[in-house]
Amino acid sequence: MVGSPEFDAYQRFILSAKLYWTGPMFRALRETYRHRLSLAPKEMPPGPERVAALLAGEPDAQIFCWMERHLQRFKYSGRLGLVPAHEEARAAIEAALNAPLPPGLLELDPGFEVPRYFRAVDIHQHPGGIWSDEIAGAVYERGARSTTPLLSKDLSLHERFTDLVLALRRPRRLLDMGCGFGKSTKPFYERCREAEVLGIDIAAPCLKLAAQDAAAAQARNVAFKQRSADATRLPDGSFDLVTSTMMLHEMPPPVVEGTLREAFRLLEPGGLMIHLDFLPPEEDEFLTWIHYGHGRRNNEPYMEPLARMGIGRVMEAIGFREVRIEPFEEMEGALARRETHWRFPWAVVSGVRPAA
């Protein structure tokens, strides 16, 4: 059962193991890679394919990859994993999710068809994905607390992104695409009381949780709707700020491009689009190899296609200007630790719809 002493002890152990994988195992693998690289023929072209060739059959690589895959599996699916533990509390969770809400706070679409690309794999190794089960949003919320092991004691990620965005733009009407259970939307509606905030997502179980959380916070300036980011059915030019957090890497490139076009259409002239996502540093073939492998091992198959699609060029072709792709520091000192600890290659992707 969620919250039982056994469940808590088990999940703390898994997190502790993830931290060991993040630190000592990552460093051991880096060290092995550097050694192999020093022995490699000079004519081997650089890139993640070279890293794969250098590390093929290396025990450090096999162990690292196994741990990445299976610690996440244990988190969700072991005896005391998130899914079975939440199952025992299903009735209470469903009752909380279906509690009455203020009018207009949540709009679900009973006829909404979740796209095939989102149904084809169980994202994050969450059995059934985050869309198919009534309580999947609650499971995902609990799981997201340890997605980034180094952040488990520092939950400032969303606040830091909000700080960055608000330093660029104080919105009047904000759209948060792929808002999930609302953790990215909340800092905006709490800190921009004068703005109208709309969160959209394709996963109804997550939207229900987002709406209940907003109701509990007595927020009056936010609404949530079940819509696809690439086909929102919202009016042209209806926002001055469009954001997303960890959404783009969950879409195949044609849907990413469709989403960027939709954001362009939805922005008023001069409006800003800004996404927080993952793009590996091109100059570091080792981290790029790790990142591409993470996509496969963690059931997030579009991480590599997103990194390879040249998103900056696509944005410029659509018409965005002031296109920027910059590293993002998810916690104090994170960028300085990338040599010694595994972390996601956080990046901020932004562009402005020209004023005329």
Enumerate binding residues for another protein (CB under 8 A).
Answer: 5-6, 9-10, 12-14, 16-17, 19-21, 24-25, 28, 57, 59-60, 62-63, 65-67, 69-71, 74, 78-80, 116, 296-297
Instruction: Please state the three-class secondary structure of the chain as a single string.
Output: CCCCHHHHHHHHHHHHHHHHHHHHHHHHHHHHHHHHHHHCCCCCCCCHHHHHHHHCCCHHHHHHHHHHHHHHHHHHHCCCCHHHHHHCCHHHHHHHHCCCCCCCCEECCCCCCCCHHHHCCCHHHCCCCCCCCCCHHHHHHHHHCCCCHHHCCCCCHHHHHHHHHHHHCCCCEEEEECCCCCCCCHHHHHHCCCCEEEEEECCHHHHHHHHHHHHHCCCCCEEEEECECCECCCCCCCEEEEEEECCHHHCCHHHHHHHHHHHHHHEEEEEEEEEEEECCCCCCHHHHHHHHHHHHHCCCCCHHHHHHCCHHHHHHHHCCEEEEEEECCCCCCCHHHCCCCCCCCEEEEEEECCCC
CB 35, min distance to another protein, A:
13
CB neighbours of residue 342 within 10 Å: 25
CB 26, min distance to another protein, A:
11
Is the CB of 148 or the CB of 184 nearer to another protein?
148
Is the CB of 78 or the CB of 312 nearer to another protein?
78
CB 32, min distance to another protein, A:
10
CB 67, min distance to another protein, A:
8
CB 252, min distance to another protein, A:
12
Crossing angle, helix 285-297 and helix 59-77, to 10 degrees? Answer: 40
Is the CB of 81 or the CB of 280 nearer to another protein?
81
Is the CB of 286 or the CB of 328 nearer to another protein?
286
Is the CB of 42 or the CB of 116 nearer to another protein?
116
Is the CB of 57 or the CB of 333 nearer to another protein?
57
Is the CB of 12 or the CB of 145 nearer to another protein?
12
CA–CA dist 70, 63 (Å, integer)? 10
CB 312, min distance to another protein, A:
29
Is the CB of 17 or the CB of 101 nearer to another protein?
17
CB 5, min distance to another protein, A:
6
Token pair of 297, please?
């091992």
CB 179, min distance to another protein, A:
26
